Each structure stands twice: as C-alpha cells, then as structure tokens.
Structure 1
Amino acid sequence: MHQDYADGVEGDLSTRQRVARSILVNGPSTAAALAERLDLTPAAVRRHLDQLLADGAVEARDPRPAGHRGRGRPAKAFALTERGRDGFEAQYDDLATEAIRFLAETAGPDAVRAFAEQRASFIERRFPEVAVAHPDASPAEVLAKVFTDEGYAASVRALPVVGEQLCQQHCPVSHVAHEFPQLCEAETEAIARVLGTHVQRLATIAHGDGVCTTCIPVLQIEKKEQVTS
C-alpha cells in the first residue's frame, strides 16, 4: 500500500528529505522510480520534487536519447544540486571547521593530522568484520559497505582491465575537508593499508568533483583474493 506523509508541515519535510536522500544515494532518478523506491504515490513524489526544484535542491535533466524506448516524451531524471547536497551536511560544518581551526592554531598541524587519522580509523576497524560478514564481496565492495555505514553513500564501479573504483556519492565532511585536506588524505591512506597496496584518489567532492573516486588496481584485487582464499 502506498503511503503519503503529507499530513502537516512536519510530515511534508520528512518525506521531502526521504526523496532528496534517495536521489543522493541512488543518483539521478525519475519520479516513477522514486515513487516505487519509496512506496509513495506518483502525485506525492511530483509534489515534493516541485518544491525541491523551487528550493534549488534538485534539477531536472533530460534523459540520454539512447535510453529512451517507446512513444511519448521520455521522463526527466532529477539530480541533486550542490545546494541540495549542502542540506545534508551544513548543520555542523561551521562548528566543525571552527573547532579544527582552533586545534590547528593551538596545537599545530600535527594535531590536525592526528585528528584526521583518528577519524579515519573506522575504515581499518570495520573492514575485517564486514569482510567476514560478506565473504563473496570484493575488497572494494567491502569498503563500500563500510563507508555507506558511515554516511558516505558508497558504491563500486568495475573497470575492465584497470580494476575497480570506490565511488562515494556523498561526503559528510566535504566542506571541512575543503579547508583541511588532511581528512581526505587520512582516508586514502587507511584504504591503502587495509588493501596492502597503493591506491589512487582520482576525485573528491571536497575539491568540487561530483563524487569521491578511488581507484583500486586489478592486480591488488587479485592479490587480496589470493590472500583471503
């Protein structure tokens, strides 16, 4: 049974956040896909999308011509804008940035580095237990599960010959990391340590890219499978 949480302002905001978060996690989505994914009526989804469009939180995109089949005008896909992304993390950005600035001023850059490493420690702490719980997952897939649990909305993209890419659609600390890249550096180094080899961070949301992307070479994937088999 479809549900519409449109009774009252609080219900509207809650459902609108669910719509926005679904786009954040799953990427550009049509109204029909959102309705099915969230178990809402198409009318309810369109109403919330209209408001998100008016707020500048999403934008409507024409679908790729190759993906259109059948008659009629192809449905538009709705994608989150930078303003929409900001809504998920802006609450604590200023406070966190001020706190790290204070740390840098009073204790120096080494303290900021130590803080970044401590924050990234969840990667090495969670990786072994998630790998055991998902024995058929590749190292990149295990990392995606670890990062998703921490709010990064991560997924894996296979690249023939090259290997795999760990893609983070969301970064809860992107605005802070823009000023303090030590946060990104510590994450990348922790990823390399759990895999036992060098990995390459190709893009970061903190530096204006649409997604954080880390390349895991195919040779490392094969090596990791041999070690765990």
Structure 2
Amino acid sequence: EHLRGFEPTPRVDAWRRTSGLHRVRGRRSLGAVKALWETRDQIAEARDVTPSRIIPDAAIIAAATALPTDRAGLLATKGFHGRGAERYSSRWISVLSEVAALEESELPTRTPRTDGPPMPRAWAEKDPVAARRLAHARDAMATLAEEQGLPVENLVVPDSLRRTLWTPPSTREPEALAAAVAEQLAGYSARPWQIELVTPVITAAILAGDVEPPAPPAAPEPDPDLGPDADPED
C-alpha cells in the first residue's frame, strides 16, 4: 500500500557513475562528463529510450578527454560513437563550449562537495552522541522495516535519516521533538506516510542517544598486604 505512487529520490551527482570516469583528468574534463551525461539523459528521456542508446559512456569519456571545439573535431575523436553521436553533434559541441567558458570555481571536483554529515564510520570519533543515535536508529529501523515488509531504504532515504540524526532538533521535550523531526524530514522531501512511520523511531533514537552508556565496572584494587605470590586464603 505504501509503495503506491512511490518515486525514489534521484541520486545526487548520478553522472559520477559514468563508466570510465576514473580515467578522466582535470576539472574541465570532469565538467564535460557532467554536461554530456546530463544532455544525453535529457535526450533519452525525451525519446523514451535508455541513455546508452544515444551514446555510450565510452563516448562521453572520449569527448570529455579530447575536449574538441567543433563538430568536425568531435566526430573525428577516437571512441566517440553511438547512434546519436552525429545526429546530436550540435548539442554535444554546444555543451562542450559552455563547459570551456566556465570559471575554474564552477567546475566539479574529483570528490563531490557535500554539506551533509561525515561517513557513518567516522561518527564515533567526531560525535559519539550522534553515533549512539545512529546505532539506536539502525536497530529500530530494521525492526520497523521487517514489520512493514519493506526495505529499510523505502522507509526513509538513508541520507535524510543520517542528516536528521547528525543535526537533530535542539528540543528534547518528546512531543516538540517529534514535531520538529517530522518537519525536518518533510524538508528533505519525505512523504507523509514515511514521516508518520519513522518519526517515532527517530525521535526515540535521538533521546536514547543522549543517554550516556554505563561505565564498565572498575577492576578491583589489589590488596597491598598481599604479595604477588601470596595465597589470599593463608
């Protein structure tokens, strides 16, 4: 029932999945990959075909590496082929020209910029309280997903969950916190049914994460009257 009308959140920087991207050097060429990928995606969507039927990833990499400046140079680029290579050549050259005119600061970097939280494996070191929130939430979300018969990622986008747990609302009054969590999730484009399901879980995880775990019991102090080889029964 919950999956009716479900639309997955578009992957951020999907162009970075272009096969062969690791061979591209320089931010200008990375920008060309991005521009060509996005243009190919637009053409494919308009024609209702898979993007690789327009031009393959290898053609994008070839053009982005060579950075030709005119149609003849583009079509002469080794590796630039595909059904739409010549047919849409004016569009390919147009976007390559746009990339050539960009300032360096406008070009993508090898590692995508992010304003989100660090990788989960770093949470314990950077923010132990947030790490506890995440641990509580993961366990509870797994249970909820099993109860609902849904994959965990369908309950809420993982990035939205991590962002909410990394920078939760400041209030700790349960009702106010739940309302603020729901509002935060809505800001991340969570659907109403998702918000209804996961808000109690996330709220509980935030509150549980604030509780310091009990310290391990201290080791017993050695008896100064007993030597290292003494028998305590003597």
Normalising by structure 1, we get a TM-score of 0.21
Normalising by structure 2, we get a TM-score of 0.21
Q: Please say which structure displays the higher CA radius of gyration.
A: 2
Larger strand percent: 1
